[in-house]
Amino acid sequence: MFHTLERLDASPAQERALVAELDQLEERLRTARGNLAALRPVLADAMRSRELDATALTGLEAGFDTVVADARGAITDTLRRVHALLDDRQRATLAELVGGGGWRGGSGPYRA
């Protein structure tokens, strides 16, 4: 992330705001993941029954839909706020990084 902030030539205030946005996104996605995990017992009960219960499936679908909607909302909210924090040049730089695979900072076995 710090490589990206450097490439954006973000001001210290922008850096703090961007890091805060990403921290908030991470927390919201962690909450969504916890809500998804909370559906496991419902799924287990549905699978345990002799016949797959349509009511249980409907409940699972509603739960999944809620989790996905929460995650989607968190990502969309963060993208809007990040977009507003950047100037035109920084947005163009970030778009280049995202679209062109320009993230080459860091090392490790999972980085190309």
The residues, any chain, with a CB within 8 Å of residue 64's CB and separated by 6 or more, are 36, 39
Per-residue confidence (pLDDT) for residue 106, from 0 to 100 = 53
Segments making up each domain of the chain, as ranges:
12-100
Per-residue confidence (pLDDT) for residue 64, from 0 to 100 = 93
Mean pLDDT computed over 86-107: 82
Render pLDDT for 45-59 as a digit per residue (tens, 0 to 9). 888 888 887 888 888
Full-model pTM: 0.77
Question: Count of alpha carbons within 13 Å of 94, Cβ hemisphere only?
Answer: 18
Render pLDDT for 20-31 as a digit per residue (tens, 0 to 9). 999 999 999 999
Measured distance CA(86)–CA(35) in Å, rounded: 32
Measured distance CA(17)–CA(57) in Å, rounded: 41
Please check the confidence at residue 109 and state whether its pLDDT lies above 90: no
Instruction: Among 10-14, 19-23, 102-106, name the one with the lowest average pLDDT.
Output: 102-106
